[in-house]
Structure 1
Amino acid sequence: MGAAAFLMVEYVGISYVEVIKAALLPALISYIALIYIVHLEACKAGMQGLERHYKPTLAQSLLSFASTIVGLLVLSAVIYYGVGWTKDVFGAAATPMIAAVIFIAYVILVKISANYQDHTLEDPNADITSVPDPGPTIKSGLYFLLPIVVLVWCLTVERFSPGLSAFWATVFMIFILLTQRPLMAFFNQEMSLGQATKVGVIDLLESLVSGARNMIGIGVATAAAGIVVGVVTLTGIGLVMTEFVEFISGGNILLMLLFTALISLILGMGLPTTANYIVVSTLMAPVIVTLGANMALSFL
């Protein structure tokens, strides 16, 4: 969904803030439905959750879920409204000032995280028998929220392109991977800085390999979507689809939207979100625009 939002910005040519406003309610409905579907499948399969050190009530679980959603919204609002004014006041100097603040916050959060690290050597192949306590787990990785802060800042305040915003967020994430272990080693005094730096470099290389492997499927699907787009562009099948939808809808706007949604659903089967958006936006969006323009002209 996040990658599709970036594509919307590129294809439609509107700001990321407008995409967020338009996609907020559908995204909430989608994720609530996803959680409910997972719950139903787990109940159908008779799956039981891991043992908890504490058992929250239903009200506490709902409050925790709502707090997470509200926290993300508040974080975005604070970045946009609470820090965005610095751009108007300090101009070009606001960016290095915010960068310095983020760096200081990063060091402080790593210091907090170092106090919650589990120093016992665990077997990675051992079975997980209980759910870790959420409090220490969250506090041990709070600094991983900072790349999101950088991303939101670049998108909403600096108004960078999605690609450039993701680039700077990725650069900061690489910086975190390289420096988190040396900083923790400095605060905990458990290993030398050289050894910690070596481990950080290994973590970075492993993450690059893992990221490349995960992108293979998306890359292939996006390439296939590009082939579909090229075929549509060269053969003129888009005009045929426009005439087809107009014929079966009989000029009725509601039927036109329903048939377009059905065709989009069929075209998107088996495709990830990114490739799905490319195909549907290329094939079906011009259909709606063309038919809508024709109907507007007919009324004139």
Structure 2
Amino acid sequence: MKPVIEQETLSRTLAGTWAWIVFALSMMLALFHVYTAATIPLPPQFQRSIHLAMGLCLVFLLYPARLCKKEAPSPAMWDVLLALLSLGLGLYHIIYYEQLLARVGVNTTLDLVTAGLGVVLVMEATRRVVGWPMVIVAGAFLAYALWGNYVPGLFGHRGFSLERVLEHTFLGLEGIMGIPLGVSATLIIVYLLFAQVLEKTGIRQFFIDAALAITGTSPGGPAKAAVVSSALEGTISGSSIANTAGSGSFTIPMMKNLGYRPEFAAAVEASASTGGQIMPPIMGAAAFVMAEFLNVPYLDIAKAAAIPAILYFTGVFLMVHFEALRSGLVGLPRESLPVFRQVMKSQGYLILPIVAIFILLDAGFSPARAAVWSMGLAWIAGLVKREGRMGVTAICKAMVAGIAQALPVIATCATAGIIVGVVTLTGVGLKLSSNMIELAENNLAIALVFTMVASLVLGMGIPTTATYIVLATMAAPALQKLGVEPLAAHLFVFYFGVVADITPPVALAVYAGAAIAGSDPWKTGIEAVKLAIGAFMVPYFFVLSPVLILIGATSSLLLQVLGTALLGMFALSIAVVGYWKSKLHGITRIVLGFGGLALIQPGIMTDAIGASVVLVVYVMQRLRNRSLSRLS
């Protein structure tokens, strides 16, 4: 058997002995996490040390220090040395575990040298996998910890020695080994492995076939199928870029063939795929971190995100629909499409592992253990058909591919831990939240805008998980001081970190879609923002009315809120596209847009105003169309 390395996921194509070494290390890391998730995780220091050490080792073996046109099939000796040092860091934490606990504040020279190497290796690994922005942000925080005494005004502090900063950042559980890496080591990596196993069963094709069967014959059918399939894929993958590249390679050409502009086709896939990070049950990695920060079950996070996710995808779906009507696009012939009943009969069983996640979580299983059991169920489901059966080779491929996806997450979470460590050491988080409240003059609306802008700006340069971690420790507390529910404050930060993936000028999901469609990335980004308008509006509403995230919601109230919010998304979509029964004039679009926003905001008065606006516009459209038909 040849080493089963998924080369397209790696930056360096290895061959021969090195391919086998990376394969073995990847399998060891995968099996370690599956075993500890299925049984009992090791003590945090051990679990996180092994996770980080092996993750960094693989990063240095697979990611070159700089990209070359022709990369060697083996790592450079310098990279091998860094990989060995990374393994040594993990061993140091394990071997000297008790001594490190006993001599807190009185560290040896070897402790400090090891800590210094650890910080450097983490930042270099992060630079290789996600680029400079994240490293620059972390470096700025470290500089602030060391020389904060030179910072004037409220943000200044007495400054900390290099020894104190290194101890806090690496030797304890407050910095690199803190909560972000802990979530990566116990939850995120297991769900990435689960998603890869599920992928091998053929579930992506099932999602596409089911979406086409449901929407294919309606106006703009392939575009609607892209929205539906991406929403379904979001239940197993929290990566907007992976979703865009995966389903987009199929749906974008189909949309273009139907008559959609390349920019619009790419924007549909990018905006729908980005919504995958907010789609339960398996949301983006930041959602798992959120559960730890708030100290609530992950299932509560998934439940709270359900209605906002429904509103998001409803908005994208409706805008695709009205764009198709405006452009005169039709669906595909019924005979060329799958039949839904047959799709469900032949492939419907593939969805059982996803359903099992909810059942197991509700039964009291930990999220990690629920993922392992569902992984086993996915393997059993794959046995039904030959193309979904996973032998040893297929399982190994899934494990290695999952580890390859986890490497950027490991490095990012470790570097985010540096930032969190500095925040806790210096107290800058409390200062920032107090100053933000003062700058906003205790006005919640202004504070929300400040937080949104910070999330979008940070999200343009660093991954969603890191964006969330930074702002959850610095901005979310300010919102909570202004009376925002903790869950609403954290979801607000999370949502805007997510939509940064489609917000120009740096919009990675848009770039992925534009590359497939051959479209202009900037124009595609503008289209994606229009399509995802719900993601920019809904967070404000669930902050002001937490019933949208199930806080204080009764069954009757929930039905009322969901019904009016969906009608609001209907009106808002029409306003953005500018077409209903016929083309809408500018003033009508503005009025209808305000009516849609009023409906999304829960409340009897706002619902009455919004519904009245929609009714008036509907009557005006009917009368106008009747007059035009008489004249013709």
TM-score class normalised by the smaller sequence: 0.5 to 0.7
Q: Which runs of 5+ in 1 are unaligned?
A: 55-129, 186-195, 294-300
Return the letter of the residue paired with 2:377. Answer: F
Matches within 5 A, 1:48-197: 52-54=333-335, 132-156=338-362, 158-177=363-382, 179-181=383-385
Aligned residues of 1:9 and 1:162 also touching (Cα < 8 A): no
Q: Is the 8 A contact 1:52 1:132 kept in 2?
A: no
Question: Residue 134 of structure 1: CA displacement?
Answer: 4.4
Q: Please state whether the residue corresponding to 1:159 is helix, strand or coil.
A: coil
Aligned to 1:254: 445
For 1:225 and 1:33, the matched residues in 2 are separated by 33
Q: 1:281 to 1:174 in 2, by over 3 A?
A: farther
302, 306, 310: which is aligned to 1:24?
A: 306
> In 1, Cα distance between the equivalents of 2:318 and 2:463?
21
1:212 aligned to which of 392, 403, 410? 403
Provide closer, same or farther for how the CA distance between residues 152 and 229 of structure 1 changes in structure 2, counting only shifts above 3 A.
Answer: same
Contact 2:353 2:378 in 1 (8 A): yes
Deviations 1:105-138 (A, max 9, x none): xxxxxxxxxxxxxxxxxxxxxxxxx654544344
Q: Quote how far apart the aligned CAs of 1:249 are.
A: 0.9
1:287 corresponds to: 478
SS of 1:171's partner is helix
Task: State the partner residue of 1:230.
Answer: 421
CA contact (8 A) 1:242 1:291 kept: no
Q: How far apart, CA to CA, are the structure 2 residues paired with 1:277 and 1:238?
A: 14
Shift of 1:152: 0.7
Residue 250 of structure 1 aligns to a residue in which SS?
Answer: coil
1:204 Cα deviation from its structure 2 partner: 1.6
Q: Alpha-carbon deviation of 1:245? A: 0.4
How far did 1:285 drift? 1.7
Q: Residues of 1 paired with 2:401 and 2:471: CA distance?
A: 29
Q: For residues 160 and 206 of structure 1, do their structure 2 counterparts lie closer, same or farther at Cα, with a shift above 3 Å needed?
A: same
**Does 1:266 pair with 2:457?**
yes
For 1:154, give the aligned amino acid. Answer: L
Map of 2:579 onto structure 1:
none
Structure 2, unpaired ranges of 5+: 1-277, 485-632
Q: Deviations over 1:253-291 (max 9, x none)?
A: 332233223223323334444333323222222222345
Q: In structure 1, what residue type is equivalent to 2:403?
A: A
Contact 1:232 1:238 in 2 (8 A): yes
| Structure 1 residue 170 displacement after superposition | 2.2
- The code of the aligned residue for 1:226 comes to G
Q: 1:38 to 1:163 in 2, by over 3 A?
A: farther
Distance 1:228 1:36 in 2: 40
Q: Matches of 1:40 and 1:228 in 2, distance apart?
A: 44
* Distance in 1 of aligned mates of 2:322 and 2:405: 28
Count of residues in Structure 1 that have an aligned counterpart in Structure 2: 201
State the superposition RMSD in angstroms: 3.7
Give the Cα separation in 2 of the matches to 1:238 and 1:17: 28
CA 1:31–1:228: 2 relative to 1, 3 Å: farther
Aligned mates of 1:202, 1:38 — CA distance in 2: 41
Partner secondary structure for residue 435 of structure 2:
helix
Q: Kindly tell me: are residues 270 and 175 of structure 1, through their superposed partners in 2, closer, same or farther at Cα, counting changes over 3 Å?
A: farther
Give SS of 1:9's match: helix
Contact 2:444 2:479 in 1 (8 A): no
Of residues 393, 400, 406 in structure 2, which corresponds to 1:202?
393
Aligned-pair CA distance for 1:20: 4.0
Give SS of 1:141's match: helix
Query: For the structure 1 residues 164 and 281, does the alpha-carbon distance in structure 2 shift closer, same or farther, using more than 3 Å as the test?
Result: farther
1:7-35 deviations in Å (ceiling 9; x for gaps):
33332223445434432221112223444
User: Secondary structure at the residue paired with 2:442?
Assistant: coil
**What's the counterpart of residue 506 of structure 2?**
none
**Equivalent position SS for 2:351:** helix
- Give the Cα–Cα distance (whole angstroms) in 2 for the partners of residues 42 and 215 of structure 1: 38
Equivalent residue number for residue 412 of structure 2: 221
CA distance in 2, matches of 1:39, 1:270: 33
Conserved 8 A contact 1:245-1:260: no
- Counterpart of 1:239, as a letter, is L
Gap change, CA 1:257 and 1:152, over 3 Å in 2: same
Secondary structure of the equivalent of 1:268? helix
Contact 2:361 2:367 in 1 (8 A): yes
CA–CA distance in structure 1, aligned partners of residues 322 and 467 of structure 2 = 26
